[in-house]
Chains A and B, each alone.
Chain A
Amino acid sequence: MELETSTIDAIKVLSLSGRFDAQEAPKVAQWEDEQITSDTSRVIVNLSGANFLDSTALATLVKGLKRCRTYGGDLFLCGLDQRVRTIIELTRLDRAFRIFDDIDAALLAFSTLD
């Protein structure tokens, strides 16, 4: 799995591509630990390049969500194809995460929070 990070208007955007599973999840957990801070607690995880998501990956995203909200921010998801969305819907976590079509829609949602 490849990780690519950018920062747009103080919002961290993490773009993941490939297979996001139990083998790869520690990379994202480490990124969350290092990048989500009291100064940077608004995060968008772009999954448009991810072709597989298992429960360990999902748990890592929930951990990031909690960390962001602890610091007063939020973690939005975007770019999920229907297959990747499967596990999020089965666990009903689509009610915990805010999910957007793409990065622009997620950025717009953050801008309306200010």
Chain B
Amino acid sequence: MEAVDLIQVEIPAALRHLSILSACLAEFLRLAQELPDPDATIYRCQLAVQEIGTNIVEHAYVDRLDGRIRVTFSLFPRTLMIEFEDNGKSFDLASVLPPKSPETKATRETTRDPQIPQERGFGLYVVRQLVDEMTYETGESQNRWRLVIRWKQSE
């Protein structure tokens, strides 16, 4: 299916530039028709974009300052697809374990206070909760994340 609308943004791979993606996405999604609860939906998409962008900066380009991230936002009827392309190090998605919830047995055994959770490792877990599809492909010189977010027709 051909996208109804599409924009492409390329930014330097630096944390300070990720807010540019947030701003672009917000403006782009305001063009979408039938977006339910626009503020909440836009925020959730921005959060997913922030987490993938941070992952690329901190993992793919961990030892490089010249990295670039190309992001394509494609709008379909009631669907947003976001693709990230980078040419940094590949990422082993299978190695990412879900975070330990504060109440799990594992947490009780590894911390003195059962209510104190782990500090890191929430990023991709959060993205999985926010989107309908998350895929990651790595090639010889390029890595590609793809997120798909769908929404129902607003009443």
Binding site for B on A (CB under 8 A): 19, 21-23, 52, 54-56, 58-59, 62-63, 65-66, 69, 82-83, 86-87, 90-93, 95-96
Q: Are A59 and B54 in contact (CB under 8 A)?
A: no
For chain B, the count of residues having a C-beta within 8 Å of the partner chain is 33
**Given known contacts A23-B18, A95-B103, A58 and B46 CB-to-CB distance under 8 angstroms:** no
A17 to chain B, nearest CB (A): 15
Q: Are B54 and A87 in contact (CB under 8 A)?
A: no
Q: Are A93 and B46 in contact (CB under 8 A)?
A: no
Taking CB atoms, residues of chain B closer than 8 Å to A87 are 47, 122, 126
Q: Which residue of A lies closest to B16 (CB)?
A: A23
Binding site for A on B (CB under 8 A): 15-16, 18-19, 22, 39-40, 43-44, 46-47, 50-51, 54, 57-58, 99, 101-103, 113, 115-120, 122-123, 125-126, 129-130
Interface of B is mostly: helix
B41 to chain A, nearest CB (A): 10
Q: Are B117 and A93 in contact (CB under 8 A)?
A: yes
Taking CB atoms, residues of chain A closer than 8 Å to B115 are 95-96
A62 and B118 alpha carbons, distance in the complex (Å): 8
Taking CB atoms, residues of chain B closer than 8 Å to A52 are 22, 43, 46-47, 50
A56 and B57 alpha carbons, distance in the complex (Å): 13
A52 and B40 alpha carbons, distance in the complex (Å): 12
